[in-house]
Each structure stands twice: as structure tokens, then as C-alpha cells.
Amino acid sequence: MVIKIGGNIIDDENKLSSFLKEFARILGKKILVHGGGKLATRLAGQIGIQQQLVDGRRITDAETLKIVTMVYAGYINKNIVASLQAFGIESIGVCDADGNLIKAHKRVHPTIDYGFVGDVDEINSSMLQGLLEQNLCVVVAPITHDGNGQLLNTNADTIAQELAKAMSSHYHVRLVYSFEKNGVLLNVEDENSVIPQINPASYKKLKEDRAIFAGMIPKLDNAFTALQSGVQKVIIGKAEDLTNLIEGYAGTTIINE
């Protein structure tokens, strides 16, 4: 099970604690990938570092890289690990530079300079499998490296997808994107407008009609890529409803047919 937690849940101590308590009850091998963008954005604002997002992706200059590394790989990662330990789950927190878990390269784009944003090249799946086989829950922060000493900020949804793909060579893998919404919504203001199922054709139409908000597009792109690469199932939905998401009673299920 690869589960990504993000959005407003990270910022709310009570919601995060409730989520982690439910996560701790999940049986079997599991990886938890977290973001933390809202906290990083807030801290950047407090010290006067302007932030810019393009299609849900953060432009990462040198100062922003320092902030996201401290927030993601430090404060958030270790607080999650400590909470899981309190719930009886032996856990280890890593960023993707640790153990050479994920090697990436600085993103090259024809029109946008994303700064120190990384796109994934390699997954050290044997290292990750070794941790899982020791019955450790692995908590992953989305800070990668390029192999030459440079840290890179990589989208947490992408990290979750890449880890799920890599682990699908060793296990039957389900990927869950959990956040503050009930699922993929037709109307972002209406929590009851959940789209129960999305396939490639319906996704294309949703994008053409601009029926889904821009921040959801990278998540859905990652979902379809995961399915095409061996992941068994991808589900998107509300973090507080984690058990129902896993059992298929809630959220949006992404299918590749």
C-alpha cells in the first residue's frame, strides 16, 4: 500500500492525528508519502520569500529549496514518524536523498524555469524493499537529489506514483491519494459532486471542458501513469475516510480502460 497524504490535513493537527491512527490500523507493508506545501508557503510568506505555482507545481528557487527541505524532510517527516511510533507502528522517516532512494534531474522546460525542481530518474527499489521486509513503515518526504550533491524539490504525488510503480515489481500495489476533498469533484465547491470513476476518455473530456481544477491534473496524470506501469488500483479521496477509500466504498477510482 502506497498512500500519499497532503492538502489541509497536514496543517490540521487533529485531522492528521486521526488519519495516522487510522493508517496505523492498515495491515501489511505500507509506505506513506507526504507533502506539506501549505506550511512551506506560509513560512515563506512570513520571511518575505514570494512563492509561485504553475499547474500545481511549485517554482523552487534557492531560498525556497531551503524552506521545503526544512519543512518536508525535517519538521513534517519526523512529526509523522513520532506519531506513528506512538500508535505502535515501527516507522522510519526518509527523504529521497537518503540511501540514494530516488535520483532525479533538474527539470528542463522549454518556456518555464522551475528552479530546483526535480524529475525522477531512478528508484532504489532494493533499498526500499529491504526496509519493508524489516516490517518498517516507510515515511517519505519528497526531497530528491541529482547524484552530484544537489537537492531537488519533487512533487509528492509524483513520488508516490514512482514508488508504487517500483514496488509493483515486488508486491501487489494499491496507490491512494488522500487529501481534504471527497474525491475528484465536478464542482470544487460541492463536496457531493464526486466523480466515482474516471477512465482515459472521460479524463480527456474533463480537461477539455475545464471541469476539474488545475491542481488536480498532475494527480490524475500520475494516477494513469501508475496504472500503465503495473499498479493494481489508484484511488483518490478524503483522508478522514481512509478505510472506506481502501475498501472501494468512497472517493474516485481511476481505471485504465
State yes or no: pLDDT of 37 exceeds 70. no
- Which residues 6+ apart lie within 8 Å of 166 measured at CB? 123, 125, 128
**Residue type for 8, please?**
N
How confident is the model over 131-146, as a mean pLDDT? 97
Distances (CA, A) of 55 to 32, 59, 196, 206, 216: 24, 10, 23, 16, 9
Q: What is the pTM of this model?
A: 0.91
State yes or no: pLDDT of 113 exceeds 70. yes
Please give the backbone phi and psi of residue 56, each rounded to the nearest 5 degrees, phi first: 80, 0
Confidence of residue 55 (pLDDT cuts 50, 70, 90): low
Q: Pick 153 or 186 by higher pLDDT.
A: 153
Q: Which fold has domain 2-254?
A: Carbamate kinase (3.40.1160)
Res 56: pLDDT: 60
How confident is the model over 19-30, as a mean pLDDT? 94
Confidence of residue 127 (pLDDT cuts 50, 70, 90): very high
CB 179 within 8 A of CB 5: yes
Q: Residue 119, SS3?
A: strand
State yes or no: pLDDT of 203 exceeds 80. yes
What pLDDT digit, counting tens, does each position of 70-96 carry? Answer: 999 999 999 999 999 999 999 999 999
CB 218 within 8 A of CB 158: yes
Res 88: pLDDT: 95
What pLDDT digit, counting tens, does each position of 176-200 carry? Answer: 999 888 999 988 888 889 999 999 9
Secondary structure of 19-48 in HEC code, one letter for each residue: HHHHHHCCCCCCEEEECCHHHHHHHHHHCC
Q: Domain segments of the chain: what residues?
A: 2-254
**CA nearest to 85, candidates 125, 10, 32:** 32
How many whole angstroms separate alpha carbon 131 and alpha carbon 92? 8
Q: Residue 97, SS3?
A: coil
DSSP code, position 117: B
How many whole angstroms separate alpha carbon 204 and alpha carbon 98? 37
